[in-house]
Amino acid sequence: MTFDLHPEVKPLIEARAALPAGKNLEEDRANWSAYARANNVSPPANINVKDSVVAGRDGVSIPIRIYSPSSSGPKAAIAYFHGGGFVKGDCDTSDTTGWGLASETGAVVVSVDYRLAPENKFPAALHDCVDVLLHMQNHPSVYGIDASRLAVAGDSAGGNLAAATALWARENGGPRLKAQGLIYPCLTDRLEFDSYKRNASAPGLTTQSMQGYWIAYLGDIAGKSVDPMATPLIAKDLSNLPPTFILVAEHDPLIDDGVEYAAKLMRAGIETSFFRAERMIHGFIRARVTGPDAAAAFARLSRFLCEKLA
C-alpha cells in the first residue's frame, strides 16, 4: 500500500531502512539504539542533565535521567516514559524528547529507564514507572520540584505506561496528577480497529510488529488482557483522571487507540485535547528538531502540559 507521507518523516524512514536487519532481540535493540542516537540532538545550554538511580520495589535499581531548566525555584515535574514496544529503548534513545519537554514546558522532566520485556513482562515496567513517580512525590528536594505539580507523559509503549500510571495513581490515592500527555499510545492488545488494517504496513510501525510487542510484554495473555493497567483502553471507569492530551499520527496502526481513548475520556467528563498529525507516521516526533510541522505538533502537547502544570 502507498502512503501519502509528510516530507519531514522521509529522512527518518530512510535512516531506519539503512539499518541492518537484526537476527535476534539483542541485535534489534542495538539497531534501534543506533537509529535513535543518530537522530538525537544535544540539549540547549539552559537544560541541565543528570543521570541517577531510584530504588524500586524488590531491590530493583531504576536508572533515570533528570532534565532541569536552569530557572530558579521549585518547578513542576513530568515523569516521562520512552517508547520502543516495551522491548527496547532507554534514556539515551529518548534523550531529545526528554530535554525537549523540559525546554518547552519549563518543568523538570524525569525520564525512566524501565525494565524491558520479554525478560521482564508486565507489570515490571509499570512498577518501575510508578516507583519513580512516587519517589518524585516523596523526595521533591532531590529534583528541585513542587510535588503538587506532577504530570506523566510518554510515547508509544511509554504512552501506555503513562496512561496506566495515571490509572494506578487514581486507584491508589495519588499522586494527584495535573495532566497526562499520550503520544501515539498503544492502549489495547486486541488489534481490531480499522487503523490496524489500513495502516498495517505503514512505515514507522506495522501491525505485525505491534502484535509481537504485545506478546513480549504480556506473554500468554496477549490479545485477551482483562487488566486495564496493561491495556488502559478496556478500563470501564475513566472518571477522576487528569486532563489529557493525546497526539496521534495519520499513518499509524495505533491511531484508533488514541481516538477511542480520547472519546472514552470525554464521555467520562475528563478535559481532553486531541491532535491528529496529518501525513505523519509512528515515531514522527523525532523529526521535530528539523521539521516545523512535527515541531508544531510537539509544541501543542507542551503548551497543554505547561498550562496544566502552572
Task: Name the active-site residue from 156, 195, 225, 302.
Answer: 156
Give the whole-angstrom CA distance, residue 42 versus residue 209: 30
pLDDT band for position 244 (cuts 50, 70, 90)? very high
Task: Name the active-site residue from 6, 82, 251, 282.
Answer: 282
Give the whole-angstrom CA distance, residue 30 versus residue 279: 28
In this predicted structure, what is the pLDDT of residue 38? 85
Q: Hey, what's the cell of 289?
A: 528538531
In this predicted structure, what is the pLDDT of residue 22? 81
Handedness of CA 116, 120, 121, 122 (dihedral sign): negative
Instruction: Answer yes or no: is pLDDT of 197 > 90.
Output: yes
pLDDT digits (tens, 9 = 90+) for 156-179: 999 999 999 999 999 999 999 999
Cis peptide before 11 (omega within 30 of 0): no
- Determine contact, residues 60/42, Cβ cutoff 8 Å: no
Task: Name the active-site residue from 252, 256, 257, 293.
Answer: 252
Query: Domain limits of the chain?
Result: 7-309
CATH class of domain segment(s) 7-309:
alpha beta
Any residues with CB less than 8 A from the CB of 226 and at least 6 apart, and which?
A: 234
Query: What letter does residue 8 receive in the DSSP assignment?
Result: G
The pTM of this model reads 0.98
- Known active-site residue 68: no
Cis peptide before 118 (omega within 30 of 0): yes
pLDDT band for position 78 (cuts 50, 70, 90)? very high
Output b/e per residue, 9-34; b: 16+ Cβ within 10 A. Answer: beebeeebeeeeeeeeeeebbebbbe
- Known active-site residue 282: yes
pLDDT digits (tens, 9 = 90+) for 262-306: 999 999 999 999 999 999 999 999 999 999 999 999 999 999 999
In this predicted structure, what is the pLDDT of residue 58? 86
- Known active-site residue 237: no
> What is the average per-residue pLDDT within 62-87?
96
Give the whole-angstrom CA distance, residue 188 versus residue 177: 23
pLDDT digits (tens, 9 = 90+) for 132-150: 999 999 999 999 999 999 9
